[in-house]
Structure 1
Amino acid sequence: MDRTSRRAVLAGIGGVSALSLTGRIGAQQEGREVLLGIVQPESGDLGELGTPIADGAELPARELAAVGSEFSVDVQREDTQTLSEAGISAAQSLVDAGYPMFTGAAASDVTIPVAEEVAIPNQVVMCSPASTSPDITDLVDDDFVFRTAPSDALQGDVIAEVAYEERGWDRGASLHLNDAYGVALSTVFENRFEELGGEITATEAFEPEQPSYTSVLESVLADDPDFLLVIAFPVSGIQIFRDFYAGFDPDLPVIVTDGLIEDDLPESADNPMDNVLGTAPAAAGPEVDAFTESYEDEYGRSPGVFNAHGYDASAVMILANVRAGDNDGVAVRDEIRAVANPNGEPVGPSDFPEAVELAAAGEEITYEGASSVLEFDDNGDMRGVTYDIVEFGDFELEVVDQIDFEG
């Protein structure tokens, strides 16, 4: 287990005046410390995406510190290394230190065992900003597992419909990670594609971070599909595309999923990737502009995939914590929907410190997020989500369409 950092967030987002408190916070709440863990892959196959997600997850705490909020947030970041055992150790270290909640994990293959072995038995709330496996919906979790990322039960349908109905491709092949994320997403895609009338010519699973993927590419492309679906994370994806462009038809259409929506992927693969399009959950919430401005001001770069989801996951747990008035997992769990689902005054990233005040005073609020409106269903999943359709070309990525789902 790699411990990245532990600190009370006391600096960042300079130049903001002290928060003007209204006196609505009870005496027992004034000066209280909120404990927030962040469990993300800051190394390993998903490391290139994990650190920006973790930065997004830490941003609400930095915003409170910058305005002199009555609430300090003690943030402890832990690195899962994109490995289940490391993720379990990371989450357990937070539990042992008394943290009642954490934002994480990212890879579904890490989130599921972390939930089953750490969060659920220890009654600690976890909210994943990036785990999309449909298997998470059905966890017997006593309502301790939430996610701001949508289920791949939706993304698989999006991919199939884009390929068959919009692009007119009849025959597809799938190359996917051999884990909970890859297997589940590929299965949803295959089932929907066949329902629409398409043919799956081949499906191949692969292990992450291998030195070559040439042989598995030869196998999955043997029957000349109209397109190839690649479900991977960045480190493996870079090698897959290097091998693909070195030995296969560079004009064959390829669809990638959220794990490969990475601005640096074409440069890393040394190819403009003009034949590639992708799908990913969009940051399409009513407060996305406020979040984007805050993220860019703090980190000096634009947010990427799942960064807004990381912010929203932390923000809603902080609000639940201050509303509950206790660093206790059960208490936080019981207030999540009270601060997120439609209940009262709209709040969000544009006025997060004021939202914390209102929550601490017991006011009725509705957190409207950067990633979505953030309404949780009975399984802790999002009720409404939006997907980006992304086209690669000339070493750049461009969102060309969006598809909305309402639960």
Structure 2
Amino acid sequence: MKGRTGVRWLAAVAAVAVLATVAGMSTASGAQSGFTLRIGVVVPFTGASAVFGPAYAKAAGLAVQQAKTSLRRAGINNVKIEIEYADDGTTPEGGVNAARTMISKGADCILGALTSGSSIAIAQAATVPARVPQIGPNNSSPALTDLKDNGYFFRTMPSDTLQAPILARLIKEEMGAGKTISLAGRNDAFGTGLLPILKTALERVGMKTQGPLLYDPTAASYNSEADDIVKGNPDAYVILDFPANYAKIGSALLRTGRFNGRRLFVAGGWPATIPSFIPTASLEGARGTVAGSPTGTKAAESFHRLFTARPGTKDRQTLDANNFDGAMICILAAVAANSGRGSDIVKQIPRVASAPGRTYTYLNLAGAIRAIKAGKDINYEGVGGPVDFDQNGDLKAALYNVYAYKDGKQDVIRQLKIRK
């Protein structure tokens, strides 16, 4: 439902307990006053990105569960963690309403939203005025870099300024130099953020471009837009949208009789498996780039086992680990601040997530907590990779997956590491 706020306690996601109360002992240096950390999670249970909601919610809840165990092992008994979920309906208005509701109920750290447009709206109208740190798990719009957030917004996904050259290079490699690429996408922070810089990147590597065509993401149908996208029979297409809305775009494109999903390129967070509501022919064979998670690391493999073993959805989604990492950063920063107050937590986020300091993953979370309590710097390395933040709350480095939809599932072809 559009703009739906519907707060869901963790009971709404079967994998997670609503309240995780942490047990243990005080530090050797003497007892410190305890605190309660309240984490609010803005996720799309409805709307154009609803396919991602359950996995992202479960990932954040798993972080709280792991923190509960690790705080107990570290000997901390005076910290309590509460986690709450609210549906943003995949709209900025819904995101603002969801965040405001949770903040009014005492949320000290907000995770979300999944879309850049919603995250920008939340920051401007909810988290920044309330002095509550916000960590976006799946936000790539370049507009977030210069957002006037007073240092309260961070994201565990890199900016599209890093993705555009990679996607342009992939298109050239796959299609050959000098080909014409039709560019189209939703007229919001996602489309307007990536398409112009992608157009420039494509032309720099010798490609021709058509568009970009920006369309209304709330339109009922897209027949005329589809005709414009395939006009002139371009060699390939780039279309930027969210799953539920792409179902309508893809259907309209197939009706033209001139569109082939194997000539489509996409970017950003797309479902790991083609959803049943999207016409398979409109996406099968499509190639894309997305900020990726390291494969083969102990943390990544352990997280996958943890996710699939616990109750609730078993279906992983692209970048769901980013929400796990966001929750961990909130928790570690609160421990470092010895406070559940957002204005205290935000000061510690760069300290616990970035160099210098010994590197810890969630597999040695108790050790990280002990180090913090001993006054040492730590460098939390996420399941999704390093989360070193710059002065704008952006990642300093990124790992990108190059993938293709093969037999209905994302098949990672290679991974590329880049730094600013």
Judge same fold: TM > 0.5, yes or no. yes
Moved more, 75-84 or 257-266: 257-266
Residue 234 of structure 1 aligns with which residue?
A: 243
Could you tell me which amino acid in structure 1 is paired with residue 198 of structure 2?
F
Residue 87 of structure 1 aligns with which residue?
A: 95
Equivalents in 2 of 1:118, 1:53: separation in Å? 21
CA contact (8 A) 2:181 2:235 kept: yes
Matched, 1:222 2:231: yes
Q: Runs (4+) of structure 1 moved beyond 4 Å?
A: 7-13, 18-26
Residue 273 of structure 2 aligns with which residue?
A: 263
**2:382 is paired with a residue of what secondary structure?**
coil
CA positional deviation for 1:300: 5.5
CA contact (8 A) 1:102 1:125 kept: yes
**1:106 is paired with a residue of what secondary structure?**
coil
CA contact (8 A) 2:138 2:155 kept: yes
CA positional deviation for 1:29: 4.7
Equivalents in 1 of 2:236, 2:307: separation in Å? 36
Determine which of 23, 29, 32 is the counterpart of 1:28. Answer: 32
**2:6 is paired with a residue of what secondary structure?**
strand
Moved more, 101-110 or 47-56: 47-56
Could you tell me which amino acid in structure 2 is paired with residue 362 of structure 1?
G
Determine which of 80, 104, 129 is the counterpart of 1:96. Answer: 104
CA positional deviation for 1:302: 4.7
| Structure 1 gaps, min length 5 | none
Matched, 1:278 2:291: no
Equivalents in 2 of 1:25, 1:3: separation in Å? 44
Moved more, 213-222 or 352-361: 352-361
Determine which of 50, 71, 75 is the counterpart of 2:83. Answer: 75
Q: How many residues matched? A: 402
Residue 412 of structure 2 aligns with which residue?
A: 399
CA contact (8 A) 1:273 1:394 kept: no
Residue 191 of structure 1 aligns with which residue?
A: 200
Could you tell me which amino acid in structure 1 is paired with residue 64 of structure 2?
A
CA contact (8 A) 2:274 2:283 kept: no
Determine which of 131, 134, 140 is the counterpart of 2:139. Answer: 131
Equivalents in 2 of 1:124, 1:158: separation in Å? 34
Residue 161 of structure 1 aligns with which residue?
A: 169
Residue 254 of structure 1 aligns with which residue?
A: 264
Per-residue CA deviation, residues 73-94 of structure 1 (Å, 9 max, x unaligned), is 1001111111111111111112
| Structure 2 gaps, min length 5 | none
Equivalents in 2 of 1:216, 1:179: separation in Å? 16
Matched, 1:296 2:304: no
CA positional deviation for 1:198: 1.5
Equivalents in 2 of 1:155, 1:266: separation in Å? 28
Q: Percent identity?
A: 24
**1:28 is paired with a residue of what secondary structure?**
coil
CA contact (8 A) 1:164 1:198 kept: yes
CA contact (8 A) 1:34 1:322 kept: no
Equivalents in 2 of 1:220, 1:271: separation in Å? 17
Equivalents in 1 of 2:10, 2:370: separation in Å? 22
Could you tell me which amino acid in structure 1 is paired with residue 356 of structure 2?
N
CA contact (8 A) 2:226 2:256 kept: no
Residue 53 of structure 2 aligns with which residue?
A: 50
Residue 142 of structure 1 aligns with which residue?
A: 150
Matched, 1:309 2:318: no
- Kindly report the root-mean-square deviation, in angstroms, between the aligned alpha carbons of the 2 structures: 2.6
CA positional deviation for 1:357: 4.2
CA contact (8 A) 1:46 1:235 kept: yes
**C-alpha spacing 1:86/1:360, structure 2 compared with 1 (3 Å):** farther
**C-alpha spacing 1:12/1:200, structure 2 compared with 1 (3 Å):** closer
**C-alpha spacing 1:233/1:205, structure 2 compared with 1 (3 Å):** same
Equivalents in 2 of 1:26, 1:365: separation in Å? 21
**C-alpha spacing 1:49/1:179, structure 2 compared with 1 (3 Å):** same
Equivalents in 2 of 1:342, 1:314: separation in Å? 19
Moved more, 228-237 or 283-292: 283-292
**1:2 is paired with a residue of what secondary structure?**
coil
Equivalents in 2 of 1:66, 1:289: separation in Å? 19
